[in-house]
Amino acid sequence: MISYDILICGIGGQGAISLGTVLKLAAIHEGLDVVGAERRGGAQREGIVTSNVRYRKLENGEVADERRAPASGLIPAGGADMMISMEPMEALRHGRWLNENSVVIVNDFPLTPVSVRIGEREYPPLETVVTRLREFTAGVHVFPIDELSRRNFNSLRQVNTIALGMASALGSLPVSDESILSVVRGQFPDFETNREAFALGKRTALG
Amino acid sequence: MNPLALNEPGRTILAMGNDAIVRGGLEAALGYFSTYPGTPASEIGEGYLALKKEFPHIHAEFSVNEHVAAHGAQGASWAGVRSMVTMKHVGMNVAAEVLHFAGYTGVRAGLVVVIGSDPGATSSTSEQDDRWYSLHTHLPILEPSSIQEAKDFTARAFELSERYNLPVIVNAPSKLCHNIGSLRLGALPAVFPAGGRFERNPTRYINLFGGSVANHRRAMEAVENLRGDAPTLGLNRVLEGSGRIGFISSSVNYLYLIEALSLLGIMDAPVLKIGMSYPLNAGEIASFAAELERVYVVEDLEGFIEFQAKRLLYDSGIRVPVVGKDVFPAYGELDVDLIAERLSDELRAPLPSRMTRAIGLSGKLAGDLPPRQGAFCTGCPHRATLYSIVKATDRNAVFAGDIGCYTLSCLPPFRAFDWVTCMNCGVGIAQGMLQEIEGENVIAYVGDSTFFHSGIPGLINAVQQNANLVLVILDNKWVAMTGHQPSPTTDVALDGTRMHPVDIKGLLKSIGVSYVRTIRPFNIKASMAVIKEAIRVGRGVRVIIAEEECALQYGRRIARSPGDYEIYYQIDEERCQKCNECYIELGCPAIRREERVEGWRYYIEEATCLRCGACHDLCLNSAILKTEIRRSPAGTVGA
C-alpha cells in the first residue's frame, strides 16, 4: 500500500487550498486515490487554513481492506509525512501532526495576527519557531519563499508553485513532476512562469 | 468542461463533498434547486449555478431565506419535478415550519433536503444537532461518510423520497462538505424531465382539521414502512469482526473510528455502519448487538443514534451495555485523535508512540502561540464603517450584533458588538430591550442579505413600537461571509450582467422609517459626522445605509491586478507620529510595521493595499499621502 500524507497550512488568501488542490489533481492524473478535508473557516479573513492531502494506492496483488488502509479526511496526530507551511508560526501551531521522519517546508515570512498587532501578544522570533520545530523532526527546511517569488517574478503569485517544486525535491511524493506541472498548466495562467517557479523551488531546495 | 457535467460513468474526478452532492442530484435527474447560502453547504448552490450552461433546464436559485427555499422545493415536488433544498444546520430552524408540513403532506416527485452541519461551530453561531428534528418531522436521515457516499446517498435519497412518500434529509458535516478527493462518477440520466404540472390532491395538500390528522398518521406509517425495510436498503452495513466489543457509527466518524481502531491495533472489532440514522430498525440493531459484551456508539453531537439504539434494544429485550456520550463528548467535533484517545482509555489499548510523542511535544512547544482570530479583509468597507462607529460613539452605546462578515466587529480592534445569536438578533432583540432600558444609545447592525432574510419584520415592529435605535445596514451587495453569493441588493453580477436590486430606501420609506441617511464608508470623516448626527437626534428609528461593494467582489468584477492601479498610498515617515490610528485602531492588514536599524516605521504594503483610501481620510497628521500616477477611464477603487 502506497500511503503518503501531507498537511498544508497557512493564512486565508495565501493559497493553501489551491496548493492542496494541485497535489490532489496530480493524484487523479496518475490514477491514485486521494482524500483530505480542509479547514477554510475564516478564509480571506486572516483565519487559519489547512488542507489535508492523503494519497493511497494499492500495490500489485493487494486486496482492498478498509481496516488496513484507513483514509478518513483527517491526518492523525504525528501522521504527516510532509508539512508545507506558508507561514512560520503556523508550522509550529500544527506541530501536532509531525513525527521524527516528517519533512517540513516553511515559508519564513511572518504574517502578524491582530493579537500581536494590538500589542496583546508577541510573535515568537523566527529562530525560536525553527528550534522548536526541529524538536519534532530534523527534516525542517526554511526558505524565503515570498522573497524568492518577489525577487524572481516581481510578484507573490508564484509562491505556491515554488513551494510545490520544493515539496517535489525534498519529499517522496507519490506523484511525478510531470503530473504536477500538467495540473499547473490546466489550473493557472502563464504556464512558462510557473514552470520556472517550480524549477526554482526544486533548485533552491536541493541547493 | 466542468467535470461534474461529464457523462463518463466509472471515471474518477476530484470533487469536494459538496460537489458530490451536486452530482448526486444530477444523476437523479433533479429539476429544481433552491438554497440560502450557509457554510459549510454554500458550494452546493454555487455548483448548480455554475452548471446552468450544461443543464439549462434545471432551475437553481439562491432564495431570500431557508423558509422560502424549502417552500419552493415543495412546490416543484408537487409539480412533479425532483427538487433539492440545501441549508446549513441553523437554516433548518427557519425551514422547520415548512418541512414539518412537507412530512405530513408527503411529496409527489422526490424532495431531498441537504443539511450542512457544523460540529465544533467553526463557521457558525451554534452547533445544534438537527437530526433530532426528525423525531417529530418524520423525515428520514441519510448520513454519508465519504465523498463517494455523498453522491451515491444523495441520488438514492430521491428514490427513497418517492418510494416512501416523504422528504428525505441528507446530513453532511463540514468535514465532509469540505473534504476534497476522488469521486467515481455514475451515469447521467438519458432524459431529464421537461417541466412539471400540478395535479390536485386535496386530501393531502389541504392539510386542515381532520385532514391534518390523517396526514399525521400517514407520515408516521410511512416512517414505519421505511423502518421495516431498512435492513434491505444497503444503507447500513456491518464490518464483520470476531471481537466482543462492537461499535456503531455514522457519517465521517465511521472513517475516523476505523482509523482510530487501526492506530490502537484493534483489528477484529465488529462495526455497524449506519447510513440511515432515522428511522432505525430494531432487528438490525439487535442482531448486531445481541452477542456482544458492550457496544460503543461513535457519533457527533448529542447521541441521536445512541438514544434510539438504547430504546430499540430495550424493547427487543437485549441488555447489552451501550456507551456513547458518556465517553465521547456531546459538544464540539470528534476526530481521529479524540476517538483514539478516548478508546485507548476505555479499552486499555496504548496509543502508538508516534501519536503520544506528537501530542506531548505539541503541548509543550506550541501551546503558547498568539491566536489568529480573523479580521476584516484588506479594503473591506465594514472595517471603515466600524472604525467610524467606534470613533463617533467612543464605544458609548449598546451594540446589537447580527450574522455576517461584520460579526467580526466583536473582535479586536473594534469590540463594538454586544451579542450575536441567530439571524435578525440585532434589531429584533434591541427593540425589545428598549422597552426596559432608558437613555442608552442603541446601534444595531445588519448586512443586506441578513436584512432581507428576516430583518424586515423586526424593523417594522421597531417602527410600530417607536423604538429609539440607530440601525446601520451594511450594504456590500453580496452574501460575502459564505463566499459571495448574490444578495437582493446585488446590482451587477460578476460577469457584468445587470441585476434587479431591491430598492432599500424605497422599502424603508414604505414601512415608515422617515430618518434614512447614506454613507460611503471610506469617507471616514463624513461618515462619522452622519453617525454623530443620527445619535444626536435621539428619537425613533433612524437608519444609516453604509453602501459600498465588498472589496473582494469589486476586485474580481473589474479583474484588477496590482500593476493596474493609478493611485498609491504611502506613509510619509517625516509626518507620521506613530499614533497607531491606522495600524491598530483601523487595523488594516496592508499597513505594516518594519523594524530597521535606524528605527521602526509603518509602511503600506503595495501588493496588499486595495486603495480604499480609509487610512488616508482618517489620518489626523496628513501623513498618508495619495499619489495618482495616471488617469484612466476605468475609474478608481472605492469612493
Residues 164-203 of A with CB under 8 A from B: none
Instruction: State the smallest CA–CA distance between residue A113 and chain B in angstroms.
Output: 5
Distance (Å) of CA B215 to CA A35, B66, B165, B200, B304 = 44, 24, 11, 16, 25
Instruction: State the smallest CA–CA distance between residue B345 and chain A in angstroms.
Output: 17
Give B-chain residues touching A6 at CB under 8 angstroms: none
Sequence-ordered list of residues with C-beta below 8 angstroms from that of B113, at least 6 positions apart, any chain: B70, B73, B84, B85, B86, B87, B95, B99, B139, B167, B168, B169, B170
* Residues β-bridged to residue B515: B542
The model carries a pTM of 0.95
Give B-chain residues touching A20 at CB under 8 angstroms: 180
- Judged by a CB distance cut-off of 8 A, whether residue A95 touches chain B is yes
Condensed to tens digits (0 to 9), the pLDDT of residues B41-80 reads 999 999 999 999 999 999 999 999 999 999 999 999 999 9
Q: What was the pLDDT predicted at B566?
A: 83
- How many other CB atoms are there within 10 angstroms of residue B435's CB atom? 9
* Residues β-bridged to residue B363: none
Condensed to tens digits (0 to 9), the pLDDT of residues B206-216 reads 999 999 999 99
Interchain contact, B255 vs A72, CB within 8 Å: yes
- Judged by a CB distance cut-off of 8 A, whether residue A63 touches chain B is no
- How many other CB atoms are there within 10 angstroms of residue B327's CB atom? 14
Residue B392 has pLDDT above 90, yes or no: yes
DSSP-derived secondary structure letter, B436: T
**What is the average per-residue pLDDT within A105-115?**
93
DSSP-derived secondary structure letter, A187: H
Q: What was the pLDDT predicted at B637?
A: 45
Residues 96-115 of A with CB under 8 A from B: 96-100, 112-115
Condensed to tens digits (0 to 9), the pLDDT of residues B565-584 reads 788 999 999 999 999 999 99
Interchain contact, A28 vs B182, CB within 8 Å: yes
- Judged by a CB distance cut-off of 8 A, whether residue A46 touches chain B is yes
Give the lowest-confidence range in A66-70, B293-297, B350-354, B358-362. Answer: A66-70
Interchain contact, B146 vs A42, CB within 8 Å: no
The shortest CB-CB distance from B411 to any of A38, A79, A114 is to: A114
Give B-chain residues touching A91 at CB under 8 angstroms: none
| Segments in chain A forming alpha helices (H) | 16-30, 88-93, 114-117, 126-136, 145-153, 159-170, 177-187, 191-206
The shortest CB-CB distance from B182 to any of A34, A92, A118 is to: A34
Interchain contact, A77 vs B584, CB within 8 Å: no
Residue B191 has pLDDT above 90, yes or no: no
Give B-chain residues touching A120 at CB under 8 angstroms: 370, 412
Element holding B364 (H helix, E strand): helix B353-365
Q: What was the pLDDT predicted at B639?
A: 38
**What is the average per-residue pLDDT within B276-299?**
98
Interchain contact, B358 vs A71, CB within 8 Å: no
Sequence-ordered list of residues with C-beta below 8 angstroms from that of B556, at least 6 positions apart, any chain: B494
**What is the average per-residue pLDDT within B434-447?**
91
- To test the contact with chain B by mutation, choose from A39, A44, A147 the residue with the greatest count of B C-beta atoms within 10 A, namely A44
**What is the average per-residue pLDDT within A183-205?**
96
Q: A156-194 burial, b if ≥16 CB within 10 A, otherwise e?
A: bbbbbbbbbbbbbbbbebbbebebbbbbbeeebeeeebb
What is chain B's mean pLDDT, rounded? 94
Angle at B402 between CA B396 and CA B405, to 5 degrees: 100
Residue B631 has pLDDT above 80, yes or no: no
**Euclidean distance between CA atoms B594 and B607, whole angstroms:** 16
Instruction: State the smallest CA–CA distance between residue B371 and chain A in angstroms.
Output: 7
Residue B456 has pLDDT above 60, yes or no: yes
Contact B426, B400 (CB under 8 A): yes
Give A-chain residues touching B256 at CB under 8 angstroms: 72, 74
Instruction: State the smallest CA–CA distance between residue A29 and chain B in angstroms.
Output: 9
The shortest CB-CB distance from A21 to any of B180, B252, B259 is to: B180
Condensed to tens digits (0 to 9), the pLDDT of residues A32-67 reads 999 999 987 655 567 899 999 999 998 888 888 889
Q: Where are the beta strands (DSSP E) in B72-110?
A: 83-88
SS3 of residue B158 by DSSP: helix
Interchain contact, A45 vs B375, CB within 8 Å: yes
Residues 137-166 of A with CB under 8 A from B: 155-156
**A13 vs A35, higher pLDDT:** A35
Q: What was the pLDDT predicted at B72?
A: 98
Interchain contact, B352 vs A37, CB within 8 Å: no
Strand B322-323 with B294-298, pairing:
parallel
Interchain contact, B179 vs A47, CB within 8 Å: no
Sequence-ordered list of residues with C-beta below 8 angstroms from that of B112, at least 6 positions apart, any chain: B25, B30, B82, B83, B84, B85, B154, B157, B158, B161, B167, B168, B169, B170
Place of cell 469482526: B241
Interchain contact, A24 vs B362, CB within 8 Å: no
Interchain contact, B180 vs A28, CB within 8 Å: no
The three three-digit cell numbers of residue A180, written as one number:
504536477
> pLDDT band at A68, cuts 50/70/90?
confident
How many residue pairs from chains A and B have C-beta atoms closer than 8 A? 185
**Euclidean distance between CA atoms B481 and B123, whole angstroms:** 9
Q: Please count the residues of chain A.
A: 207
> pLDDT band at A70, cuts 50/70/90?
confident
Element holding B114 (H helix, E strand): strand B111-117
Condensed to tens digits (0 to 9), the pLDDT of residues B127-175 reads 999 999 999 999 999 999 999 999 999 999 999 999 999 999 999 999 9
Condensed to tens digits (0 to 9), the pLDDT of residues A88-105 reads 999 999 999 999 999 999
SS3 of residue B586 by DSSP: helix
- To test the contact with chain B by mutation, choose from A6, A7, A46 the residue with the greatest count of B C-beta atoms within 10 A, namely A46
Contact B406, B375 (CB under 8 A): no
Element holding B94 (H helix, E strand): helix B91-105
- To test the contact with chain A by mutation, choose from B298, B369, B585 the residue with the greatest count of A C-beta atoms within 10 A, namely B369
Q: What was the pLDDT predicted at B638?
A: 41
